[in-house]
Structure 1
Amino acid sequence: MIRLPALFRYILSLWLLLALVTTGGSTGFAQSGGDKMDAVLVVDVSHSMSQSDKNGVSLEAMKMFVDMTSAQGNKIGVVAYTDKIEREKALINVNSEQDKKDIKAFIDSLQKGPYTDIAVGVGEAVKILENGQDPAHAPIIVLLADGNNDLNKASKRTQEKSDEELNEAIQTAKDKGYPIYTIGLNADGKLNRNPLQQIAAQTGGRFFETSTADNLPQILSEIFANHSKVKVVPLQNFTSNGQFQEVPITIPNGSVLEANISITSGKAVELKLTDPSGKDVAIPSQDILLSRSRTYTMLKLIQPSQGDWKLQVKGAERDKIAVNLIFNYDVQLMLEPLAAKAFKKGDVISIKAALVTNGQQSVSPDLYKKMKAKLIVQESGSQQPSEIDLTNTGSGFEGSFTIPEAKQYELKVKAEDASFYRETKPVTVDASKGAGTGSGTNPPPITSPITEEPGSFPWTAVIVGAIGVLLVSAGAIYLFAAWKKANKGFTGQIAIEIVDEDTGEKSNPQYKKLNAFKGKVKLHQLLQLAPEFQETDKVLFFPGKNDTLLIENRSGCRVEKAGRVLDASKGREMKKNDRIKISLTSVNKSVYVDYIV
């Protein structure tokens, strides 16, 4: 048996600790999920929806959800299905009001078709997230349907096959952490609840039901609030007298990123707004955004001043008006790592958590004033968690947990006030064998079965250690290079035109910003995952050096530049203003791509 010298054990231990840090080990707080979301809105547009959703409010609700999302930083996609994908828009970055207007215009353009196959819509939404979801964003799918299938008998599609594909999509969503919120539309009393309840329950979403469809804006507010860990704050419901009526709006602290005020009404309303200083504020203006639709008005206050605002609403006489408020907070709740030690029955664990912004404990002290926090303890094998109140120190939350039995426990902290709540990621404490580890524990000491003969120079250990360090270092360099390549950003944008070679008809140019992607992007994604362009899934773009773009063709498509066929199987460079033509094989169409820096 040869034992590694202490020096090599120390060097290797130090290297592994460094590897832990560079690959995500944390010496600070354990953080909850981020605020940004990647949302796919899915709607059944079959003819049966003409009865299930007589007023067409499902489209209005989707637009309201778009308006509720933050002014910048989210990604939104849309899927409209029957027994096939009628229209879809892959995840696109929303960084301006124009981006939102484009998505809402797309929603307004959706038209109905025959037949229904719910597996088609759910499956496509899952694929969109798989192909375009940002790991730093919280994924969500919202499905609006009546739950009924109406398959085309001529297609020989069976209910068994549809169920099989739906179950596969549900399992994928569950495995990847894509919660699906389902809204059952029941205006005609023919709602099929079972598949919608199953989809929501198995993926961690929630099921909602409405018989009138008029409640959809409120339901969408609850979905948005639940997913963003905020609360819908009811402000006022009233019947309009035809004059301006005042609605107080209180901004509770300086950490409010956005205040979303939704006004649902049967007819258009007029609005006036006064800030806490008593000054009238123009609507719209730089920090006051206004969105209107057929059934709602959305007012978004960007980083509003703390204090009491006054909103005045003037509606048509006798019109029923409801006003709700949702805050967007740019804060997370973080749990301080547990002490670096083994655990056993009777140990007292110190619990500390704090609200942070961008990883820093710099939130407004006012944010803590009315907050309450609890430690939630889930014992392994138990269905019912227990709760322990924590002390609000004014800058965080503190308390302790005494391990009652030699078992395994999951700990997390939840803090909330009247407008929002946050939860930390759960931490496991294992005291089942009298000794275990929690978050923040040091790695165990490194030992080796190798020993040297007493008194001899440890040449074997030196060689083995050196080879080990070299191999580990080479592996680290390789992994770092792979990680760097996978996360390299793009610059510029591309313009895409589609030409029907049979008719010569050419589509309007579509401009796609590339900075939304990291590492690589498939042409199929940029073509919004349209089924007829499926073969372009193997046409890839990578960021190149000096603001160039690399195209790699792994498909059967033909790539041409300036009339000459390019062999892009191993990658070809595209420079500023380069134009290429990609000829498809499955349909007689070509895709023209212009690279614009």
Structure 2
Amino acid sequence: MLELTWPWFLLLTPLPLAMIFLPKAKPKGNGIWWMHTEQLIHNQDMKAASGRFQLGFLCLALSWVLLVLAMTKPVWLGEPTKVVPSGRDLLIALDLSGSMQVADMALNNQSANRLEAAKSVLSDFIEERRGDRIGIIVFGSKAYLQAPLSFDTKTINQLVQEAQIGFAGEQTAIGDAIGLGIKRLEDKPSDKKVLILMTDGANTAGRVQPEQAATFAASQDVRIHTIGIGADSMLVQSFFGSKVVNPSSDLDETLLKNIAAQTGGEYFRAKSTDDLRAIYQTLDTLEPTPAEDIWQRPLTSLFHWLGLGAIAFLGLALLSNREVIWRKGGSHDAV
């Protein structure tokens, strides 16, 4: 459906007709005109010139009409489409430190490292968060924003899959990751700011202490859910044979529990890929997406097309009358 934003501009359409009522220009003196024989225009040429003049006048009129329509700023209203309303601003802080390469997880019945398992589960989780703005923070020795808050879950997922171990360093800067998350969530509604922190170790780097970052997060109404990832037992081969070790001995569960409790979040322990899936299902219930859909009609502006059309017809008018003006100007000489 076509809609005019400023329809009152249509009142300008008959403006060129006002030229009829303008006084005619009068020459200041009398001129004697002499027609050269070689410049006589035959009847056939006169008819052709008259036709070109009429075409030029028509193009000029169309140019004016299109210009007036462009000034009304017309828009085309498309069909109503369903849009999920904005939900939470959800940041996911993903640990890329060297310990995330420990292969104590499983994907499709095959051994996988912690980052591969996290990517797989995160991909499904992000796809389900329609209506939320999702952002990704990666951290190791330093914290970086991998993807800013966006509704584009497809691009967010792609950036998650591109993250690699060691991109941010080999150590673990939990405090810096929280600090960066707080900065990216500032000036957002207090009931919609959520940070999910996933790590497999303890704070070993960074300029900000995790406890201080958690205190500041609580003052800024940022809720932090923490996830400790890593199996509690793993069979490894050594020179003396196989033995069972705890690959998560460096995980600081006490710190993660305190961060979650201080900010009103929850702490989760993921010892397997299935645990991760269950955790993110629980997070879906703790941080639900909007339930009601809203409808909107897309607007397509037609202003630039009408403006280009007006310029095109003006050019045609000038080209059509060019030969007519030349012939009339060249057929007589004033003496």
TM-score, length-normalised on structure 2?
A: 0.50
**Whose Rg is larger?**
2
TM-score, length-scaled by structure 1: 0.29
RCO (CA 8 Å, sep 6+): is it higher in 1 or 2?
A: 2
**Which is helix-richer, 1 or 2?**
2
